[in-house]
């Protein structure tokens, strides 16, 4: 794992913490959780900005957003008692599949320098 991947994992960690605090902030009525949420998002974007120095933006942002969304499904279920319907589970599967596919694409791009173009 290179340093840019560490930055991306850190961005995901702080982004997810910001999501949790955002829920606890009750629509920004709980000042402590509101401040914590904003600080977490600031740190998350700071780490994301460092990650895109070595990871293409299209890949880094998709992984950051997709992983955060997937984790929010689990956090919602186990921390906040939200339902986990078949549709949510299917969406989670598609997010995880998309993230894995992006990793494969990134490796292909770095090995071959050019991915085949689609279309004419």
67-107 residue pLDDT tens: 998 898 889 999 999 998 899 889 888 988 888 887 777 66
CB count in 10 Å sphere of residue 22: 18
Q: Which domain holds residue 52?
A: 3-112
- Indicate the number of domains in the chain: 1
Within a domain: 74: yes
Residue (of 76, 9, 95) closest to 44 by Cα position: 9
| pLDDT digit string, tens, across residues 21-65 | 999 999 999 999 999 999 999 999 999 999 999 998 888 998 898
pLDDT tier at 108, thresholds 50, 70, 90:
low
Q: How far is CA 19 from CA 25, 68, 109, in A?
A: 10, 9, 32
Within a domain: 76: yes
Greater model confidence, 59 or 4: 4
């Amino acid at each position: 794992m290179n340093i840019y991947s560490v930055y991306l994992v850190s961005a995901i960690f702080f982004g997810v913490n910001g999501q949790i605090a955002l829920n606890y902030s009750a629509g920004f009525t709980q000042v402590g959780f509101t401040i914590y949420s904003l600080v977490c998002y600031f740190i998350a974007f700071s780490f994301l900005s460092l990650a895109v120095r070595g990871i293409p933006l299209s890949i880094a942002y998709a992984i950051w957003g997709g992983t955060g969304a997937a984790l929010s499904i689990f956090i919602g279920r186990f921390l906040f008692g939200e339902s986990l319907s078949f549709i949510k589970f299917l969406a989670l599967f598609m997010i995880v599949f998309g993230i894995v596919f992006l990793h494969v694409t990134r490796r292909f791009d770095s090995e071959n320098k050019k991915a085949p173009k689609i279309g004419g």
